Amino acid sequence: MLMPDGTLTACYLEADRWREHGLDHTVGYVFKDGNVAIDTNNLERIRRMVWHKPRCERCFCRWTCAGGCHISLTPPDCSTDYTDECIQTRLISASFLLKTVADHKSVAAWLNDKAAHQILAEQNDDRMLNYNGNTE
Ligand code: SF4
């Protein structure tokens, strides 16, 4: 976002909203003569924020959702529990993934399988490392 004072940010919320969580989403500045300065260190730090989100490190949506909004959904002090938005993201992502690997009938079966939705919503760790094969 380009702010009226020339600041470039990685977020359209007011700066006070990030600062409440100890975040700085400034990525650069556009000078009056049109020159632009980019803070590549801060840009890289923001890009890597998803690496350090305890809630997201066990979720298969980690690299697509990227933790959603760093301020309203997964601020540094957020709980590790999935929110309603997380569950929604997980279900939609699973549906899209299934569409890429399965036929229409299988996708339709998944979309109508409330028990499968519940399992996915409640599964608190998607990593193969921790998979025990239990889907009950
Ligand atoms: S769905 Fe929730 S837990 Fe998963 S990556 Fe997105 S914010 Fe993180």
Pocket test for ligand 1, best of 49, 55, 126 (most atoms within 8 A of CB): 55
Say if residue 76's pLDDT is above 90: no
pTM listed for this prediction: 0.80
Ligand 1 midpoint to CA 78 (Å):
12
- Residue 127 CA from chain centroid, whole number: 17
Structural contact between residues 78 and 22, judged by C-beta atoms closer than 8 angstroms: no
Phi and psi at residue 34, in whole multiples of 5°? 95, -10
Q: Output the residue whose Cα is nearest ligand 1's atom 2.
A: 86
pLDDT at 102: 93
Query: Tens digits of per-residue pLDDT, 10-52?
Result: 999 999 999 999 999 999 999 999 999 999 999 999 999 988 8
Say if residue 133's pLDDT is above 80: no
- Candidates 117, 28, 114, 20; CA nearest to 70 is 20
Q: Output the residue whose Cα is nearest ligand 1's atom 7.
A: 67
pLDDT at 26: 96
Query: Can you read off the two tokens belonging to residue 96?
Result: 């899209």
- Reported as a pLDDT band with limits 50, 70 and 90, residue 128 is confident
CB atoms within 10 A of CB 110: 17
Say if residue 134's pLDDT is above 90: no
Ligand 1 midpoint to CA 66 (Å):
7
- Candidates 125, 132, 130, 136; CA nearest to 61 is 125
When pLDDT is averaged across residues 111-119 and rounded to a whole number, the result is 94
- Residue 67, classed as helix, strand or coil, is coil
pLDDT at 129: 74
- Residue 93, classed as helix, strand or coil, is helix
Say if residue 130's pLDDT is above 70: no
User: Which atom of ligand 1 is least distant from the CA of 58?
Assistant: 3
Say if residue 120's pLDDT is above 80: yes
Q: Output the residue whose Cα is nearest ligand 1's atom 5.
A: 62
